[in-house]
Chain A
Amino acid sequence: MELLCPAGSMPALKTAIEHGADAVYIGLKDDTNARHFAGLNFDQAKLKEAASYVHQHGKKLHVAINTFAQPNSYQRWQQAVDMAADAGADVLILADIAVLAYAAARYPKLERHLSVQASATNAAAIDFYRQFNISRVVLPRVLSMQQVRALAHSCDIDLEVFAFGSLCIMAEGRCYLSSYMTGQSPNTAGACSPATFVNWQDNNGTLESRLNGILIDRFAPNETAGYPTLCKGRFKVGSDTYHALEEPTSLNTLDLLPQLYAEGIKSLKIEGRQRSPAYVAQITKVWRAAIDAVMATPERFNVQPQWQQVLAGLSEGSQTTLGAYHRKWK
């Protein structure tokens, strides 16, 4: 079982490797990946440096090229694939059918993983993508543990699941809420609820967060104000004001680790390429210890209270959830 950690910069990448990641995933400095944020990600030179650092330590580098290519700039997605191959990446994480086809034809020996942005939630969808000789599928965060188990039993392909981090509650790659509000979405611009549209206003002690003018939330002086990700705001439905879609909370699957291990899940992905090296260090340490423990004696695995304490401290709103893995999720 692999521990796959995020890195948005060289310091984060080095930290992940130092603290026990088996592999690190990164993106290029443009909208060919779904974490296209200012000041983040890797140019060609840094990409080569990243590959060589990871390989010196006997680990693997995955490069996410997981947005959807645009008609007049399709070449940029091809060039991203070329650049990653040239730099010595071990794996490409891809979502666009055309980019998958290009990579499969041009670099047949370079491993291809199906990005979560391709939104493959069932056996028939996974069958569809087999024509591009993918070796692994990253599952969307909309499936229950029971559904993950059914896929693990019915599909003869490696599965990767999200283990920890920001929780997308929508089937990834098919969510247009962000472009509805701002004109930019993960699929078209590599970003959700982009920071350039965020506005904060203090109204006599009440802090209001807006995205492109739409009020996402109001915070009383004693409340912690979170980033206005549009699906995590407090809205009115009928006469109730609540987190109509999702609370600001993080996914945490530590409790499910023995089950995920028993089902042969190949890789646990930690979300957060936008996070600091310090965050990556703490998260990697906890998950390294947990995976080592489950692999050593799966039947005696216990979640250590100090792990949960660290993870809670790193979570949105200091809350964690099993998300859709848990049937009672509502």
Chain B
Amino acid sequence: MKFSLGPVLYFWPKAQMLQFYREAAASDIDIVYLGETVCSKRRELKFDDYIAIAHMLREAGKQVCLSSMTLYEAPGELRELRKYVDNGEFLVEANDVGAISMLQQQGLPFVAGAAINCYNQHTLRRLISMGLTRWVMPVEISGQWLSEVLNQSIIADIRDCFSTEVFSFGHLPLAWSGRCFTARSENRSKDQCELCCINYPQGREVKSQDGSSVFVLNGIQTQSGQRYNLVNQLSTMQGYVDIVRLSPQQQDTFYWLTKFKANINGTAPQPLPATDSNGYWLNLAGMATG
């Protein structure tokens, strides 16, 4: 079982990003995903900055993968995607089928991210034939659903052609919109957002009127109010989850990496904070804890 760091979903200042990746380089993470996946206006780090970080991480012994955006709406955004596809050295994570189309045309292997709608063995098999080498399943499906896909004979036969990865820690990315909710929360239009996401390095919390945490606003992305945390499910993942993904949080990401690694076999279970949930994996509502 390997561990990965997902792309940073929030808009952090450049210095904070560089600091985070220096820590990543020094940590015992195996795989690091890099890139802006939420909003094309966030340009604290440009493509060349990400490539420089990628080289630094590779020299530190990490496998690096470039994550592309989830919601492409404008031709200029597709030109930026083309740069990722043509990078020439690193594997690319596709979060929109448009990226798969470009990667397939170049004959390149790819990671299908969690926002690619792959819910069954026939779709998975087809994506494998197009070049998929790693499948990050949609966040909303359960461990049982995953095992049902993998146990189908048309997948079991080619199980050595791809690896599986599960989003296991962090606020879950749940939706993407044409609207920027962070700008809306400051009563600005999307066109006049003034990049206000940079003021919210953990997103903006949305609470119900009686005080329950419901969602987190992260620009055009809506995240889960609860932090997802599968630290106590790792032993049940053995055999069919190859890579466990931790999504970078403002705090304690590497602390939790240590806790995860210690509990691979279930020998060091962790009490789950009340702000954490694990429902999706257990076939419950995502916000639930089982």
Contacts and interface: CB of A to CB of B under 8 A. Distances in A.
A235 B71 contact: no
Nearest 7 pairs of A and B residues by beta carbon:
A124-B98, A142-B178, A98-B122, A324-B178, A180-B286, A128-B101, A68-B119
A121 B208 contact: no
A238 B140 contact: no
A105 to B, nearest CB: 11
Contacts of B208: 214-216, 233, 235-236
B261 interface: no
Nearest to A123: B78
B145 interface: yes
Contacts of B121: 71, 74
B178 A70 contact: no
Contacts of A144: 73, 178
Interface stretch (A46-54, A165-173, A258-266, A270-278): A165-173
Contacts of B65: none
Given A150-B74, A170-B222, A98 B286 contact: no
A124 B78 contact: yes
A72 B177 contact: no
Interface stretch (A1-9, A80-88, A183-191, A290-298): A183-191
A136 B288 CA distance: 39
Contacts of A96: 117, 119-120, 123
B178 A169 contact: yes
B178 A244 contact: no
Interface of A: 68-72, 74, 95-98, 101-102, 118-125, 127-129, 141-144, 147, 150, 154, 169-171, 173-177, 179-183, 185, 187-188, 212, 214-218, 231, 233-238, 240-241, 244-246, 323-324, 327-330
16 contacts: A69-B122, A74-B122, A96-B123, A97-B118, A98-B126, A121-B71, A171-B71, A176-B140, A176-B174, A180-B287, A187-B138, A235-B214, A237-B207, A246-B179, A323-B178, A328-B191
A122 B149 contact: no
Given A74-B121, A169-B179, A235-B208, A125 B98 contact: yes
B102 interface: yes
Contacts of B139: 176
Nearest to B211: A236
Interface residue tally on B, bucketed by range = 35 or more
B19 interface: no
B96 A122 contact: yes
Given A72-B148, A218-B209, A330-B184, A176 B138 contact: yes
Given A96-B120, A183-B284, A174 B207 contact: no
A327 B117 contact: no
Contacts of B75: 123, 150, 154
Contacts of A330: 179-180, 183-184, 187-190
Contact of B204 (A238, A327, A329): A238
Contacts of B119: 68-71, 96, 187-188
A184 to B, nearest CB: 8
A73 to B, nearest CB: 9
Given A125-B97, A244-B184, 18 more contacts: A68-B123, A69-B123, A124-B101, A154-B75, A173-B117, A177-B175, A177-B215, A179-B286, A180-B172, A182-B285, A188-B119, A237-B185, A244-B215, A244-B217, A245-B177, A327-B189, A330-B180, A330-B188
